[in-house]
Structures are given as C-alpha cells and as structure tokens.
Chains A and B, each alone.
Chain A
C-alpha cells in the first residue's frame, strides 16, 4: 500500500500534519498549479497502514484520511514487494 494525496482535491489546510502520529506529513513548501501548498510526505513508508494493512486484513490508524476534509488522502495498492533478482556477473 502506498499513501497518496490527490492534488486535485487537496486545499492545503494542513490538518493531516496535525493528526498523523508518525508525523509523516509536513506543510508544503511550494504552491502547485492551483496555488495550493499541498503537504509533503516525509518517509511515508513509516505509515503503519501501508506496511501492515494486508497482514492484519483491516484498516489501521487512518487518521489522516478520516480527518482530511477534502477526501484527498487515500491508499493505493502497490505491487507486492519482489526481492530484486540479483544477477551475478563473472
């Protein structure tokens, strides 16, 4: 799972920066095309839902997505992690 902020919906209120217990979000530094400072993500792989949702089979935490007034935060499925095939060259 991967966290994603939908830039077409985000209005830059920064509520996600307040509620995330892992401080994954921080206020944006650059305005986007609509002039909105969309929050940036700091090492989103720390999000427990990203890592553990499939293991537990249910939504974990989810504060950011619940509080986001603009329905802009969601998780998108990622391909399961495949250990990189290592090719050894002789």
Chain B
C-alpha cells in the first residue's frame, strides 16, 4: 500500500495548500507499489526546490542533493549499483535551467533511471521567479511585465536527447499519470515524465488562477491528448496558445546504461 512508502512522522509536508507536488508524489508511489519493487532496493533522489523535498517524505533511502545535480548523482548511484531502482524527483528550474546539461546527458547515456519533473512553470521555493518553462506572457516576480523568453518544451528536449520513454501528463490526470509513471519505471533506460502542475501560491496568484481548483480547471480544459492534438494540427484547426499535448510521446529501446546484467 501507498501509505507504507510514506514517512508518516514527517507529514504533513511543507507544500502549500493545493500544491500539485503532493498529488504527483501520490501517483509515483501508487505506480511504484504496482511494480512491487522492494522498498529497501529503491532510491529516490532530488535536487533543490519544492519538488525536491518529496524524497524526504518517502520511506526509502533518499538523496536530497544540490541544485540541478540530481541526475548526475543518480548516474553515480545507478552505475555503482545497477540493481538499485532509481527515481529522481525534479522541478522545471532544477531540470531545465541549472540542471539542463545533466538532463540532456542523462538522456544521451540513456541511463536506467526514471525522472519525474514537476513542472509548475515557476521557481516556487524562492517565491515565484520565472523559469525556463514559464509560458510567454505569464507574470512572475522576475517577469513582472510578462515572460519574454520562449519556454523549453521538456518533452521534445528529452526525445531529441535520446530518452527511451517520454510522457507528459498533468496533476489533474492522476490515473493516466500513474500509468505513465508505471511504464516509465519499467522501461529500461532514461524515462522522463513531465507533469504540469499547479502552484497556487506563486504562479496561480499572479496569473489569475488564484484557487488550486482554478488551475485544475485550466489543466483539464487545455491538456489535449496527443492523438487529438496531431489531428488538430493536420486539419489546421485553431489551437489555443494555452493548450498543450499530453500523453506518451516516445517508447523505444535505444542502447541503455546501468541495467543489471542478466546473470
């Protein structure tokens, strides 16, 4: 059961009311219980940020590392002991900004880890600064007149860099997300699951999604299934700039690293 994987003595966690990170943690733990992995042989890693506090609430060995470096640490853990299951929690700033290089090299090596990126489009822990995934025009404390830099598409980035499994869901699509994480965990090689989620405190407050439920409604209406998205693109249908495709984008078997020998 999911509850066995929680450090109950540390709950409630530090996340704000309505934060999507807790939901994503639930889904990852649910997926992990479905795999039947041994808790003593599973390691969670994270960098710095709101997302990265998650391993501290999970009853396994866990490494809360420096900003952006979680994937590099995970490479060390996995290569030194490939029999361990390695899962990395990270955020958009952690993964795409300071950890961008480690991210693409993790994908290139196709090291057998699962990375769950809690993408809330903002640096939440430091109070809501713009991140490399802040959509154009959205306000944050460092983009008070609207973001002017084009954001990263983490999914495309991971695919181009060579990850074996890439999916995107949102914190609203809990069932699909759980299934995607499950698939990611079981796919040998690098798996990235990008999860768009709400940050009511720092992002929502400045972008007209004041209540957690407001952003949920946004996610619900603007997340378009990949197949439908492609159809819309083909037929030249007008796609709202707020919309984004969700689903499984890649599942392949490029050469991998860090998979235990079949012996």
For B18, the closest partner residue in chain A by CB is A13
- State the Cβ distance, B144 to closest chain A Cβ, in Å: 27
Instruction: Mark A3-41 against chain B: 1 for CB-CB distance below 8 A, else 0.
Output: 000001101111101110000000000000000100000
Task: Choose one: A36, A67, A70; the contact of B171 (CB below 8 Å).
Answer: A67
**Does any Cβ of A come within 8 Å of B12's Cβ?**
yes
Interface residues of A in 66-81 (CB under 8 A from B): 66-72, 74
Instruction: Mark B1-33 against chain A: 1 for CB-CB distance below 8 A, else 0.
Output: 001001000011101111111110111001000
Complex interface: stretch among B70-78, B153-161, B211-219, B227-235: B211-219
Query: Chain A residues near B11 (CB, 8 Å)?
Result: 9, 70-71
Asked if B212 and A15 sit within 8 Å, CB to CB, the answer is yes
Asked if B12 and A15 sit within 8 Å, CB to CB, the answer is no
For B24, the closest partner residue in chain A by CB is A69
Query: Chain B residues near A8 (CB, 8 Å)?
Result: 12
For A61, the closest partner residue in chain B by CB is B175
Query: Chain B residues near A72 (CB, 8 Å)?
Result: 12
Asked if A68 and B26 sit within 8 Å, CB to CB, the answer is yes
Asked if A14 and B211 sit within 8 Å, CB to CB, the answer is yes
**Does any Cβ of B come within 8 Å of A1's Cβ?**
no
Query: Chain A residues near B51 (CB, 8 Å)?
Result: none
Asked if A69 and B19 sit within 8 Å, CB to CB, the answer is yes
Given A12-B17, A70-B12, A70-B13 in contact, is the A17-B174 Cβ separation under 8 Å?
no
> Chain A's interface: helix, strand, loop or mixed, by majority?
loop
Query: Chain B residues near A15 (CB, 8 Å)?
Result: 18, 23, 212-213, 216
**Does any Cβ of A come within 8 Å of B120's Cβ?**
no
> Chain B's interface: helix, strand, loop or mixed, by majority?
helix
**Does any Cβ of B come within 8 Å of A63's Cβ?**
yes
Query: Chain A residues near B6 (CB, 8 Å)?
Result: 71
Query: Chain A residues near B19 (CB, 8 Å)?
Result: 13, 69
Asked if A66 and B27 sit within 8 Å, CB to CB, the answer is yes
Instruction: Mark B163-195 against chain A: 1 for CB-CB distance below 8 A, else 0.
Output: 000000001101100100000000000000000
Asked if A69 and B18 sit within 8 Å, CB to CB, the answer is yes
For B220, the closest partner residue in chain A by CB is A18
Query: Chain A residues near B25 (CB, 8 Å)?
Result: 71
Asked if A67 and B12 sit within 8 Å, CB to CB, the answer is no
Asked if A71 and B18 sit within 8 Å, CB to CB, the answer is no
Asked if A68 and B30 sit within 8 Å, CB to CB, the answer is no
A31 vs B174: C-alpha distance when bound (angstroms): 28
- State the Cβ distance, B9 to closest chain A Cβ, in Å: 12
- State the Cβ distance, B36 to closest chain A Cβ, in Å: 15
Asked if A66 and B212 sit within 8 Å, CB to CB, the answer is no
Instruction: Mark A48-71 against chain B: 1 for CB-CB distance below 8 A, else 0.
Output: 000000000000000101111111
Query: Chain A residues near B15 (CB, 8 Å)?
Result: 69-70
Asked if A63 and B212 sit within 8 Å, CB to CB, the answer is no
Binding site for B on A (CB under 8 A): 8-9, 11-15, 17-19, 36, 63, 65-72, 74
Would you list the 9 A-B pairs with minimal beta carbon distance, nearest first? A69-B22, A13-B18, A11-B17, A66-B174, A13-B212, A13-B17, A9-B12, A69-B23, A18-B213
